[in-house]
Amino acid sequence: MAPNPTTQRQPLKLLMLHGYTQSGPLFHAKSRALTKHIQKAFPLHDVSTSYPTAPLRLLPADIPGYEPSETSAETSSIEAYGWWRRSNTANPPLYTGIEEGLATVARTLSEEGPFDGVIGFSQGAALAAMVAALLEPGRKASFEHFEKITGEGGVAGMPFPESFGAGAGFQHPPLKFAVCYSGFRAPGARYRGFFEEPAIRTPVLHVLGSLDAVVEEGRSRALIEACVGEPEKEGLVVWHPGGHFLPSQRPYLDAAVKFIREYVGPEDSKKGKVEEVDVNDMDMPF
């Protein structure tokens, strides 16, 4: 009797982290072309995705350029969320609510994991890099080191997030990979523990828009430089000729698949022919 292919498929679990002002369901819709491409490229895997929604519900004042109608109830019905809010007064920058955002991710990792990798967009990409770092062995020691050092503005490093600690009963293996679309590094002395001594060792693919007017190139390059090795020379930085959105054109979908395949295994290497993505499946800019 022929083996049942369903029982032999290995899991490939992806944690999907949305951007600022988005939600899990919205990012699910926006990333449909990408996830469908991955599923088709890994027919021997049971590909599954999880889209948590950030815990901080945003107000109109939190959303750049938002102008609610005076005659509507939009102010109370906005479905926009963030993993943290950036303080406009603190120097160096302060991410208020970041502990709550990290706790939401830690809960998802515990309840729905283990995950193989994480894919994030914009603020979610910044968070994806942080989460990848937190799951690396020895990262707690990095936080303890920077807690003792006063940096710019007389600020020391933040403590290791309690939600990721053994005291909270948290357990999850290191991620195999991370894909960061329009990502950036959390600036300032507070967050050095995520990125320094050591640098992020989890393999990270950086996908950036050459016309991105939301995340400045320098902020993205700071995240690239926080990863081990020389990501640009190693082909881990991909530019697309667009702005602040997930690119849906075939070359950029293929780039993500090629990267993921390096860290998931060669089982599907001979089955990597992926169907063209229908134009109706392509995402629009955020």
- Annotated active-site residue in 23, 31, 50, 122: 122
Residue 124: which of 132, 113, 114, 136 has the closest Cα?
Answer: 132
Answer for the pair 117, 11: CB distance below 8 angstroms, yes or no: no
Strand partners, 118: 15, 178
d(CA 243, CA 246): 9
244 is an active site residue: yes
Collapsed DSSP state (helix, strand, coil) of residue 96: strand
Residue 57 one-letter amino acid: R
122 is an active site residue: yes
Token pair listed for 174: 């290191």
- Annotated active-site residue in 18, 37, 45, 244: 244
User: What is the DSSP secondary-structure string of 95-151?
Assistant: EETHHHHHHHHHHHHHHH---SEEEEETHHHHHHHHHHHHTSTTHHHHHHHHHT-B-
- Annotated active-site residue in 212, 220, 240, 248: 212
Collapsed DSSP state (helix, strand, coil) of residue 238: strand
| Element holding 8 (H helix, E strand) | helix 5-8
- Sign of the Cα pseudo-torsion (78, 79, 80, 84, in order): positive
d(CA 148, CA 23): 36
Residue 241 one-letter amino acid: P
Token pair listed for 76: 């109370």
Parallel, antiparallel or unpaired: strands 56-57 and 81-82: antiparallel
User: Any idea which residues carry the catalytic annotation?
Assistant: 122, 212, 244
